[in-house]
Amino acid sequence: MDKPVLLTGAGGRVGQAILGHIGDAYDWRLLDREPLSDEKIPDSVDQTNVYVADITDETAIRNAIEGVGAVIHLAGDPRPEAPWDSVLRNNIDGTQNMFEAAIDAGVEKFAFASSNHAVGAYETDERTPEMYRPHHEFRLDGTELPRPSNLYGVSKATGETLGRYYHDHHDISVVNVRIGNLTQHHPPKEYERGQAMWLSYRDCAHLFACCIDADYDFEIVYGISNNDRKYYSIERAREVLGYDPQDNSAEYTFEGEPLDEA
Ligand SMILES: NC(=O)C1=CN([C@@H]2O[C@H](COP(=O)(O)OP(=O)(O)OC[C@H]3O[C@@H](n4cnc5c(N)ncnc54)[C@H](O)[C@@H]3O)[C@@H](O)[C@H]2O)C=CC1
Ligand SMILES: O=C1O[C@H](COP(=O)(O)O)[C@@H](O)[C@H](O)[C@H]1O
């Protein structure tokens, strides 16, 4: 990508995982509604490329997105228990605003931070907890319809559908990354579901780099590490994006200790 890349929600967990690993690899513009402290900004990014703005503020977004080639859109309310008024504003209105601005600015690629909670209701009482365990065959692969866990999941499924609409009508490349459970240093502790959908920081950064560099039309992929326990397929991310994850929650104890040190 020879144009700048706009990262919304840059100060959050996913944004910092990305910048911590590939902060020097792209010409970033960083946007967050909270000011970013110096340690959250890579040395290669100067203050003129840091925007304190709300994604529902059309004017502010248009300034930030001018001349950008790709958007990684993370900003939003990440809480599974978030109330409707918050997900409606931050996740749905905010995402629609980002797409409109992206189309007007001629952005080529748009990566949207979707969630496991867009499909959480596939985890039925009949399937759980067995589906979280190694060797269990059940897989979601991105071709299934959304089955949200909660209103937050509804907002993520809606963001994916906005991407479908803007791709079909405006020809922007869109990839929806259904992120699992991002944690730093080790998988979620004593949490089978979380270990099955673990996404390490370095795999997260690599996956979003693939979203910037690969060629695609409209995609839905799962964002997890190469876990032995898994019920999300990462084959589509491998095939279309060239995703090659390095981490695996099976290399840690259930309590989160690395096996080679346990
Ligand atoms: N952390 C995880 O494991 C997962 C995260 N995701 C998604 O990834 C995205 C990022 O999540 P996290 O980094 O964990 O959340 P976070 O809360 O750590 O970061 C979100 C960032 O977005 C900013 N933000 C929120 N609303 C905004 C608005 N209206 N305008 C501008 N900035 C705004 C916040 O200030 C914050 O810095 C979210 O969309 C979340 O739904 C999806 C699945 C799993
Ligand atoms: O979408 C998200 O999912 C992860 C995992 O969900 P959980 O219900 O197993 O905790 C969550 O940690 C994250 O905050 C959320 O944005």
Question: Considering only CA atoms, which residue is closest to atom 7 of ligand 1?
Answer: 113
User: How far is residue 107's CA from residue 100's CA, in Å, rounded to a whole number?
Assistant: 10
> What percent of the chain is modeled with pLDDT above 90?
97
Question: Considering only CA atoms, which residue is closest to atom 13 of ligand 2?
Answer: 78
Q: Which ligand 2 atom lies nearest to the CA of residue 156?
A: 1
Q: Is 156 annotated as a binding residue?
A: yes
3-state secondary structure of 38: helix
Residue 194 Cβ contacting ligand 2 at under 6 Å: yes
Instruction: Quote the ipTM score.
Output: 0.99
What six digits make up the tokens of 13?
């967990």
The answer to whether 118 and 140 have CB atoms below 8 angstroms apart is no
Q: Is residue 155 within a helix (H) or strand (E), and if so which, with residue range? A: helix 151-170
* Domains of the chain, start order: 5-251 (3.40.50.720)
Question: Considering only CA atoms, which residue is closest to atom 40 of ligand 1?
Answer: 78
The answer to whether 26 and 210 have CB atoms below 8 angstroms apart is no
User: For residue 123, which ligand has an atom nearest its CA?
Assistant: 2
Nearest Cα to Cα of residue 118 among 167, 160, 71: 160
Residue 148 Cβ contacting ligand 1 at under 6 Å: no
DSSP state of 217: S
Expressed in percent and rounded to 5, the helix, strand and coil fractions of the chain are 40, 15, 45
pLDDT tens digits, residue range 18-37?
A: 999 999 999 999 999 999 99
What six digits make up the tokens of 62?
């248009």
Nearest Cα to Cα of residue 6 among 77, 43, 55, 39: 55
- Would you name the residues annotated as active-site residues? 152
Mutation probe of ligand 1 site: the residue of 7, 8, 19, 33 with most atoms within 8 A of C-beta: 33
Quote the pTM value: 0.98
Residue 191 Cβ contacting ligand 2 at under 6 Å: no
pLDDT tens digits, residue range 155-176?
A: 999 999 999 999 999 989 999 9
Q: Which ligand 1 atom lies nearest to the CA of residue 14?
A: 13
The answer to whether 232 and 224 have CB atoms below 8 angstroms apart is yes
Q: Is 152 annotated as a binding residue?
A: yes
3-state secondary structure of 210: helix
pLDDT of residue 240: 98
Is residue 261 pLDDT above 70, yes or no? no
The answer to whether 71 and 101 have CB atoms below 8 angstroms apart is no
pLDDT of residue 135: 86
Residue 114 Cβ contacting ligand 2 at under 6 Å: no
Nearest Cα to Cα of residue 49 among 18, 22, 26: 26
What six digits make up the tokens of 134?
């190694």
pLDDT tens digits, residue range 54-69?
A: 999 999 999 999 999 9
Residue 101 Cβ contacting ligand 1 at under 6 Å: no
Q: Which ligand 1 atom lies nearest to the CA of residue 32?
A: 32
Phi and psi at residue 24, to the nearest 5°: -105, 5
